[in-house]
Structure formats: C-alpha cells, structure tokens
C-alpha cells in the first residue's frame, strides 16, 4: 500500500472521528454543519508540508477547551490564492511592484505560527458546537516581510 493510500485512509478515519465529535450544526465563523468539517479538512492544504504540533489543552470554563499549538507551514501558490489574496489580486492602494516584491520575499518561506483553538461544547450532547480558531501570522510575517505595514498588506482580505 502506497503513502497516498495510507494518507487517504488516515484522512477518512480522522474525518469520521470529527463527524462523531461535532454537532451537526457546529459553527466556525460564518460556516456551519458539514461546511465546518470541510473547512477544517481543507485549511492545511493551503500550505506546503503543514505540521501542527499540539502544545497543550486547557479547560478554561465549563464546556470550553482551549488548544494551543504550533503550525509550521510553507507558503505556496495555493497559500497566496486562499490565505494571502492581496498578494495575487489587484488592489486599489499600493503598487503592483510593491505587492509582487512582498510575494517574492514570502514565496516558499517556512512560517512558524502560534495557534489557539477554542472548542465550545454542547452540554447535553458533549459534542463540539462551535470552534474559534486563531492563527497568528503577524509575528512570522513580520520576520520575513520586515515591518507591520508589509504584514498589513499581506493580510488584507479583498
């Protein structure tokens, strides 16, 4: 059995676990239900060689767990399209040359990001009803791009 088969089997097993653990109407931002699970599955695919290392899990209140982790991931073409679209699409402010220079500096860089994820549980079912993820791109982008003005351009959502 090839590595792709093993990865597919692992992905299917993890997806089944998530389906059992999450409420059918679980929410992340504006997404809910099956779309939440799909987004959780799809987000890491926006990066090259993503690695998520869990550091700790804390119970911060009844029905609320906070996971702290470290995300290590490489910026790829897909990352630009889906995570940093301001470095792909035309903007009203700023020159294309400036944005393309930032894109070039960021391309293929390995980012080390701090992450937290809050899980809010339904008290009756014990299933996750809301997920509040937070990935801090500011610090690693500042290291690569040099200043907060450049970081703001990269993080701008069009």
Which of the residue ranges 7-11, 37-41, 75-79, 100-104 would you say has the lowest mean pLDDT?
7-11
- For the chain, the average pLDDT equals 86
Starting from the edge strand earliest in sequence, which strands make up the sheet with 110-121, in order?
31-32, 22-28, 128-136, 110-121, 64-74, 48-61
Which band of pLDDT confidence, cut at 50, 70 and 90, is reported for residue 96?
confident
Q: What is the DSSP secondary structure assignment for residue 57, as one 8-state letter?
A: E
pLDDT for the residue 36: 78
pLDDT average, residue stretch 69-98: 84
Dihedral class, residue 107 (left if φ above 0, else alpha if ψ from -120 to 50, else beta) = beta
Instruction: Round to whole Å and give the CA distance between 79 and 73.
Output: 10
- b/e code 31-43 from CB counts within 10 Å (16+ = b): eeeeebbeebeeb
Instruction: Round to whole Å and give the CA distance between 82 and 43.
Output: 9
What is the distance of C-alpha 29 from the center of its chain?
A: 13
Is the pLDDT reported for residue 34 higher than 80? no
pLDDT tens-digit series, residues 35-44:
877 787 788 8
Pairing of strands 64-74, 48-61: antiparallel
Which band of pLDDT confidence, cut at 50, 70 and 90, is reported for residue 9?
low
Pairing of strands 128-136, 22-28: parallel
pLDDT average, residue stretch 99-118: 95
- The pTM score is 0.77
Overall fold of domain 47-155: Nuclear Transport Factor 2; Chain: A, (3.10.450)
pLDDT for the residue 37: 74
If one compares 60 and 33, the residue with the highest pLDDT of the two is: 60
Is the pLDDT reported for residue 2 higher than 80? no
pLDDT average, residue stretch 97-103: 90
């Amino acid at each position: 059995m090839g590595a792709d088969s093993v990865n597919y089997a692992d992905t299917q097993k993890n997806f089944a676990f998530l389906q059992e653990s999450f409420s059918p109407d679980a929410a992340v931002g504006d997404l809910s239900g099956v779309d939440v699970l799909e987004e959780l599955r799809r987000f890491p695919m926006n990066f090259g060689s993503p690695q998520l290392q869990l550091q700790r899990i804390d119970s911060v209140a009844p029905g609320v767990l906070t996971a702290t982790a470290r995300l290590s991931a490489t910026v790829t073409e897909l990352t630009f399209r889906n995570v940093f679209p301001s470095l792909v699409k035309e903007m009203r402010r700023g020159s294309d040359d400036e944005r393309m220079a930032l894109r070039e500096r960021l391309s293929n860089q390995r980012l080390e990001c701090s992450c937290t994820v809050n899980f809010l549980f339904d008290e009756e079912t014990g299933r996750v009803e809301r997920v509040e993820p937070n990935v801090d791109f500011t610090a690693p982008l500042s290291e690569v791009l040099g200043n907060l003005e450049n970081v703001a351009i990269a993080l701008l959502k069009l």
